[in-house]
Amino acid sequence: MASLVAVDNKKHLNTKVDLNKVEHHGANLPLIPVVLAEFIHLAVQYPIVLTKNGDTGQFVFSAMLGFEENENLFWQQAQWQGLYVPLQIRRQPFFVETSDAKHHNELAVCLNTDSPAISEEIGQALFDEKGDESSYFKTVKANLTQLLLGEKENKVLIATLTSMALIKPMSLDITFMNQSATKLAGLYTIDEVKLAALNNEQVLSLHQSGLLSAIHTMMISLGQIHTLIDLKNKSLS
């Protein structure tokens, strides 16, 4: 279990974060939750799919990075090889305490003190000697804000997809170069047939709310499954 501590400029005056180790948080993740604003960056390399949160059963958007448990095919030679690193990774090892945010409309930024990226020696400082926030920490906060807002946008898109019945289960049977096969379950995507069957009014509302481009980005991003298969085959050869 991660131990989360609220960040303050006295306790963490000397705390530093090693950016090289931040990306390590994603080393074993085949699926990483993403927000709508990232879709366009993600689609260049990763398939964007829907999965269900194990705890709530509700849909979440995820970038797909591997085919099996603990596999991130973009993590090679102890480094992130992808062009774009999802916000969920970049904001590590920081979290937002949302229960407080609800009441005070203010973000309480917490630090995961178990993170290997944290030390007092190597990396970016959170505060300067005077206790003012460093530009690095400001970026972290901006990332966290973007994630929080993104969660809201995600909810709107998912509610729209659900109400228009535009989500369908994805079935993937893949045989890799070494003839090993995998059958992926629990992934969902856009139902193109139902999307094509929407009436003018529905399409217009999707377009005006800006969701139509996100839907298309998701559909296009599925082509990146081949990128993943390529990476997998390379790792097998």
Partner 1 sequence: MNKLTKKVVVVGGGIAGWLTAGRLAAKHKSNTEQGLTVVLVESPNIPAIGVGEGTWPTMRSTLSALGISETDFIRECDASFKQGAKFAKWVDGSEDDFYYHPLVLPQGFSQGDLAAHWLAKQGQAGTKSFSEDVCFQESVCENGLAPKTIRTPEFAAVANYAYHLDSVKFSVFLQKHCTEKLGVTHIIDNVTGVNSAPNGDISSVSTENNADITGDLFVDCTGFSSLLLGQHYQVPFKSCSDVLFIDTALAVQVPYDDADSPIASHTVSTGQEAGWIWDIGLQHRRGVGYVYSSKYSSEEQAREVLAKYVGDKFSSLTVRKIPIVSGHREKMWQNNCVAVGLSAGFLEPLEASALVMVELSAQMISEQLPQSRDIMDIAAKRFNETFLYRWEKIIDFLKLHYILSKRTDNAFWTDNRNPESIPESLKEAMALWQYRAPADHDFTSNNEVFPAASYQYVLYGMGFKSDYSQNTYALDNIDFAQHQFAQNKKLTDKAVSTLPKNRELINKIIEFGFNRI
State the binding string over 3-42 for partner 1 (x if CB under 8 A, else -). Answer: ----------------------------------------
162 sits near partner 1 (criterion: CB under 8 A)? yes
Q: How far is the CB of 57 from partner 1 (least distance, A)?
A: 3
For residues 191 and 222, the answer to whether their CB atoms sit within 8 Å is no
Out of 10, 54, 69, 199, the residue judged to bind partner 1 by CB under 8 A: 54
Out of 10, 57, 129, 179, the residue judged to bind partner 1 by CB under 8 A: 57
**Closest listed residue to residue 47, CA positions, set 75, 76, 74, 80:** 74
Rounded (10°) CA dihedral 21, 234, 49, 29: -30
CA 45, CA 120: separation in Å to the nearest integer?
A: 35
Q: How many chain residues interact with partner 1 (CB under 8 A)?
A: 15
Q: How far apart are the first and last CA of the chain?
A: 36
How many residues in the chain? 237
Cβ-based burial of 236 (10 A; exposed 0-12, middle 13-18, buried ≥19): exposed
Piece of the chain touching partner 1 by CB under 8 A; list 131-139, 160-168, 200-208, 222-230: 160-168
60 sits near partner 1 (criterion: CB under 8 A)? no
- Cβ proximity to partner 1: between 186 and 210 the closer is 186
Q: What is the pairing mode between strands 118-119 and 108-112?
A: unpaired
- Cβ proximity to partner 1: between 18 and 191 the closer is 191
Piece of the chain touching partner 1 by CB under 8 A; list 11-19, 37-45, 106-114, 165-173: 165-173
Binding site for partner 1 (CB under 8 A): 52-59, 162, 165, 167-169, 186, 188
